[in-house]
A and B are shown apart, each in its own frame.
Chain A
Amino acid sequence: MACFLLILVMQIWAVQGSLSAGEFAYKPLAEPFTSSTYRVASMGSDRLLSYLLAIRLQLHDNQSGKHIRYEQLDYQKLTHWLNQITALNPHSEYPAMLASRVYSQTTDKQNMRLMIDFIQSNFTREPQLHWRRMTEATILAKHKLSDLSLALSLAEQLTTQTLDVVMPQWARDMQFILLGELNEFEAGIAIIVAMLESGSLENADERRFLRVKLLEFQQKLLESQQ
């Protein structure tokens, strides 16, 4: 009986010790293998593996039942992971979605820029797949980074996409809305006029919205000149 109690106490002590050690032991993100290694290991199921790797990465910030703060993550390694997953499956939206919706929740502005750069590079490569993430990156740059010039540059990339890239008009409108916030009404008016004259807008509501914005910008320009 005494022996049993001793073993029981030792067991409780060992479990308690491992649990309390787990509170502080954050397991950092390991370096990923190269995408070619993953491709070979996938035995032909490379797209499935890319999604499984993305989920494995997504679960990294939950350790021992606790959520790890994003500030603790090594964003250089994280970007490396996202790049390898993208290289494994360039047709997947998942890594860019993780960057814009999950890893952008950090308070570290440098890390946030890394995520925006990642989204931007994805958008440059395949705009049709990543335009939604690019609009989110524009909003992140404006509201979380408070970097209007970066937001404007991202929005400009959305606006200057050819009509082959199918996206809603509001995504293309972001540039002149940001120009308006920067009080650059002349440039904003030029973009709106170009949009109206291009003849690409088939929706009457869109045209009405642009005309209202045009009047608003012209009015504000006059006020600023007076």
Chain B
Amino acid sequence: MVRQTISLFRYLLLGVVNRRLAILVFILLVLSSLVAGFVSELAIINSQNMGAALQADFLRYSLALVALLLVTSNVAEDYQSKQFERLLTMPISRWQYIMAQLLVILTIATLLSLPVAGMLSFATSFDIALYWAAALWLELVLVALIGLLGILSLEKIPQAVVFSIAIYLLAKFSAVIDQMLSESVKLSDGSASNRFVQWLFEGVLHVMPGTKAFAQNNVFFDSSLLSADLLPSQLLTVAIYAAFLVAVCLVDFYRKEFNL
């Protein structure tokens, strides 16, 4: 059973990892260096930290988008080429497909975050570069899993990408919800509608991973923020959300009907 899952993973990975991906990552690394270098030239003080922080954020968002597109296009191809129907005629369970996709996501996240560690170690200290690469790995896993859920449910790349980006941004903007919540308490007249909105906001805050679940860019300016429990707390949050997303993917995938 494990061997089947590994074989499926290797087969799926072949469709994702290719020369085009390597070229794309190389272009992004070069582009990020150029943008960071340009802004560093403009800065009068603290230019090195600013350049490293900008490069890190540039790579974070561009690689998150790359990971999202890779996962969604990979599954969408399976839908289009009726690959699921073919696979399910073989002695392979549906959960094995999800596990194989999970392994693909972990591999993609590793392949994308490793060059970032190497690149950033030139611009900042090695421990910060290492932290950023690890935190980015967690972030890419989370985003790609949201993408997997999106494509399994919606079956079309544009809808899945928009859904995943919306969830990602909502999590990133959880501070806005928090602010709205604190403001709504001040303005609240205690009416049922006010209480409902407040309850809704609180609910969203509980379901969404907060900004602390993602890589913390401020460490580039203050290395004392790089505490021993920073990465473990992010790992714990991502592990919980990853387990939840995989469970939802499984439920959704088992509910799907294929014309066998």
Binding site for B on A (CB under 8 A): 36, 39-40, 43-48, 51-52, 55, 58-59, 89, 91-94, 97-98, 101
Say whether chain A's binding surface is mostly helix, strand, loop, or mixed. helix
A46 to B222, CA, bound (A): 12
How many residue-residue contacts, CB under 8 A, span A and B? 62
Residues of B near any A CB (own CB < 8 A): 39, 42-46, 50, 53-54, 57, 172-173, 175-176, 179, 211, 214, 216-218, 220-222
A47–B53 touching, CB < 8 Å? yes
Q: B61 — nearest CB in chain A belongs to which residue?
A: A43
A94 and B222 contacting across the interface, CB-CB below 8 Å:
no
Instruction: Evaluate contact between A47 and B221: CB separation under 8 angstroms.
Output: yes
- Cβ contacts under 8 Å, A45 to chain B: 53, 57, 217-218
A94 & B46 in contact (Cβ 8 Å cutoff): yes
Output the nearest chain A residue to B47 by Cβ-Cβ distance.
A51
* Residues A40 and B179 in contact in the complex (CB < 8 Å), given A48-B53, A51-B50, A58-B44: yes
Q: Give every chain B residue within 8 A of A36 (Cβ-Cβ).
A: 179
CB neighbours (8 Å) of A40 from chain B are 173, 175-176, 179
16 A–B pairs (Cβ distance < 8 Å), ordered by A: A40-B173, A40-B176, A43-B172, A44-B214, A46-B218, A47-B221, A48-B53, A48-B54, A48-B57, A48-B217, A51-B50, A55-B42, A89-B221, A91-B222, A94-B45, A97-B45
B234 to A: closest C-beta gap in Å? 12
B114 CB, min distance to chain A CBs, angstroms = 22
The answer to whether A101 touches B211, judged by C-beta atoms less than 8 angstroms apart, is no
In the bound complex, what is the Cα–Cα distance between A59 and B43 (angstroms)?
10
Query: What residue of chain B has the Cβ atom nearest to residue A89's Cβ?
Result: B221
| In the complex, the 3 A-B pairs of residues with the closest C-beta atoms, listed nearest first | A45-B217, A44-B211, A43-B172
